[in-house]
Amino acid sequence: MDVKETQIALKPAALAYQKKMSNPLYFWFGMLIKLPSAVFWKFRIKELDADKCVVTIPYSWRTQNPFNSIYFAAMAGAGELSTGALCQLAISGQGKYSMLVVDFRAEFFKKANQKITFTCEQGQELSSLIESLQPNETGKLTMISSGKNLQGEEVARFYVTWSFKRKA
């Protein structure tokens, strides 16, 4: 994971979250408790900083459907993780927030029959929303996670709408 460039912009709690998510053992244990399917499907966070999150999902027997491609639910999980980890990073050290997925949409373009990399690059937009919320105020943001194969071709795109409520 790339920790170098954005450390200055992140608060100490966000830096701690970033460090934990970059530690494979901590990530594995955290996912085992909170999101066991991520462990089974072998998701990996390759990069997490204030701007973007990059998550990979392998093409293997664990993720494969009967049509010899990655199961759509596994890809949806990786896409959601790329947005959700960015959300968790953005709210770290910003006070108490509740967050919830309120809408989800997907588009599929090519057969996913190799490792897929999901990238969400809306960190700055997300940070602006989080910082603008007043106590007991709710805000929504539709985050886009683009999944690409090893050749750089877009395989799928997920639109995950997160709702945030700043607690008093």
Q: Which two tokens stand for residue 68?
A: 């010899």
Angle at 61 between CA 57 and CA 42, to 5 degrees: 30
Residue 86 lies in a domain: yes
> CA-CA distances (angstroms) from residue 59 to 70, 71, 80, 114, 117?
6, 9, 18, 5, 11
Give the pLDDT of residue 9.
62
> At 135, which helix (H) or strand (E)?
none
> CA-CA distances (angstroms) from residue 119 to 67, 68, 93, 97, 139?
25, 23, 24, 24, 22
Residue 100 lies in a domain: yes
Other CB atoms within 10 A of residue 87 CB: 24
Query: For residue 8, what pLDDT band results from cuts at 50, 70 and 90?
Result: very low
Share of the chain above pLDDT 70, in %: 95
Query: For residue 7, what pLDDT band results from cuts at 50, 70 and 90?
Result: very low
In this model, does residue 168 exceed pLDDT 90? no
Residue 105 lies in a domain: yes
* Domain extent for 62: 12-166
Total domains in the chain come to 1
Give the pLDDT of residue 146.
98
In this model, does residue 6 exceed pLDDT 60? no
Residue 32 lies in a domain: yes
**Do 141 and 103 form a contact (C-beta atoms < 8 A)?**
no
Residue 4 lies in a domain: no
Q: What average pLDDT does this structure show over 141-151? A: 98
Residue 88 lies in a domain: yes
Tens digit of pLDDT for each residue in 11-45?
889 888 888 988 889 899 989 999 899 999 999 99
The domain that contains 132 carries what CATH number?
3.10.129.10
